[in-house]
Amino acid sequence: MSKLTTLTFVAALSMLPLSNVVAAETLSESFAKTTQNSELEIGYSDLDDFLGITVLDVGRSNREKAPRPSGNTGTRLKKRINRLTALEGNRIYFDNFDNVKYVEALNAIQESLEILPNEASLSQFNSNEQLAYWLNLYNFTLLKEIAAQYPKVDIGKEFSRELKSDFFNDKVLTIEGHSLSLNDIKYDIVLNKYKGREEVIYGFFGGVIGSPSIQTHAFRGKDVWRQLESAAAEFVNSNRGTYYEGRVSALYERYTPFFDGKNKKEAIKDHLLSYLDDEVYSDLANTSADDLEMDIEDFSEASIGNDRVYAAGVSFNNAALIDSARVEQRGGENISNFGVQNFVAEGLISKAKLNVRFTADELELLQGINKKYQVTNGQVTIKDIDAPNNQENQQ
């Protein structure tokens, strides 16, 4: 097909409803293209600001169990806790979901991520930039949806039945004409695009203690695999990930499709051994893969300061949480990781609404590409014609 014919064909397609144009492709096919030698980078400084004053960094696990609650905790403990894992995993102050300004900032950031592909098709980025984008979009959409339904949503219950949960399966965002759910991002797009790179599972926060931690910084394309490896090491070397007698997180059974090989249990065991660096290593090495018990669960909210979860953990955790609850100096104002009520400055909301994702040079390049390759007001992008310098490649 000639380039002229392609233009005519695409123009004809543009007369159809967009839903009909994209319906013929599966999600994994629709987002398969990359420009591997692209040097375009997506900026996430606003995400860093938000996460830096929202996430309570608990630090590396010391494998200690939480003490049994004493009789003087009163009504602070309203749920049974998993003593094995209660002191682990980064936390978010969920009560801020009742704070209007906080939610406005969260929504502005999520919206800016969602509309980014309207300015620059994801196919114009390399696969690492795309992965960082999907992980950041997933995590901020998760937080936005929790906030929208707070306090009615029971995120622990929803995550425990993630594959069948309306919360994770509802179409809550639109990317390049595709209505997507959280599970679409994780189990269709990322799973198919990065299959065999099992570290990607550590980039998905589940809102609960037993999931990989929410990070204190946004994922970035140039650092994404290093960031994921760091998150993997933290999770695997915690009681949430592994324990003695061959016990491992129940999430590994859920995430078996992300692992290569015919024997998934062997692949999971090899993966865990590649990250373990404490005394659990020898215990797991001497356990047959078939004897792995994928039974460690903790579906408590990954929250702090919320009466409905293990709020008393701060006083028990050998000062790990207390040290993380430090007051940071930002922009001349004291901002507490607990008292995020003071955080939501109008500046961050405004910043999220501005185009802070690209440099001026990158914006000029993107505008040129869009003008050259888009028809009918950008509704249909011509992907069949070679990009400048033959950059467009299939992954």
DSSP 242-270: B-STTEEETHHHHTGGGS-SS-HHHHHHH
Give domain status of residue 97, yes or no: yes
Structure confidence at residue 247 as a pLDDT band (50, 70, 90)? very high
User: Which of 124, 310, 115, 289 is closest to 208 using CA atoms?
Assistant: 310
Higher pLDDT, 351 or 316: 351
User: Which 3 state secondary structure label does DSSP give 327?
Assistant: strand
Identify the weakest region by mean pLDDT among 169-173, 213-217, 326-330, 362-366. 326-330
Output the pLDDT for position 70.
63
The listed range with the strongest mean pLDDT (71-75, 173-177, 309-313) is 173-177
- Which residues constitute the domain of residue 44? 27-68+79-240+298-358+385-394
Identify the weakest region by mean pLDDT among 30-44, 74-88, 273-287. 74-88
Residue 15 has pLDDT above 70, yes or no: no
Q: How many domains does the chain have?
A: 1
Give domain status of residue 248, yes or no: no
User: Which of 72, 20, 54 is closest to 178 using CA atoms?
Assistant: 20
Give residues with Cβ within 8 angstroms of 79, minimum separation 6: 300, 308, 309, 310
Give domain status of residue 374, yes or no: no
pLDDT, tens digit (0-9, with 9 covering 90-100), for 222-239: 999 999 999 999 999 999
Give domain status of residue 12, yes or no: no
pTM of the predicted model, to two decimals?
0.78
Beta bridge partners of 393: 34
pLDDT, tens digit (0-9, with 9 covering 90-100), for 295-337: 999 999 999 754 333 333 333 333 333 333 332 323 333 333 3
Residue 381 has pLDDT above 70, yes or no: no
Output the pLDDT for position 67.
85
Q: Tokens at residue 352, please? A: 């999220």
Give domain status of residue 380, yes or no: no
Give domain status of residue 365, yes or no: no
Q: Strand 333-336 vs strand 327-330: parallel, antiparallel, or unpaired? A: antiparallel
Give domain status of residue 273, yes or no: no
Phi, psi (degrees; rounded to nearest 5) at 92 = -125, 145
Phi, psi (degrees; rounded to nearest 5) at 181 = -105, 170
Output the pLDDT for position 28.
84
User: Which 3 state secondary structure label does DSSP give 380?
Assistant: strand
Which runs of E-coded beta strand occur in the chain?
33-34, 55-56, 91-92, 173-175, 178-180, 247-249, 293-296, 327-330, 333-336, 374-375, 380-381, 393-394
> ω before 151 within 30° of 0 (cis)?
yes
Residue 104 has pLDDT above 80, yes or no: yes
Q: Strand 293-296 vs strand 247-249: parallel, antiparallel, or unpaired? A: parallel
Residue 13 has pLDDT above 80, yes or no: no
Output the pLDDT for position 370.
59
Give domain status of residue 128, yes or no: yes
Q: How many CB atoms lie within 10 A of CB 186?
A: 21
Contact in structure between 87 and 314 (CB atoms under 8 Å): no
Output the pLDDT for position 124.
94
Output the pLDDT for position 101.
87
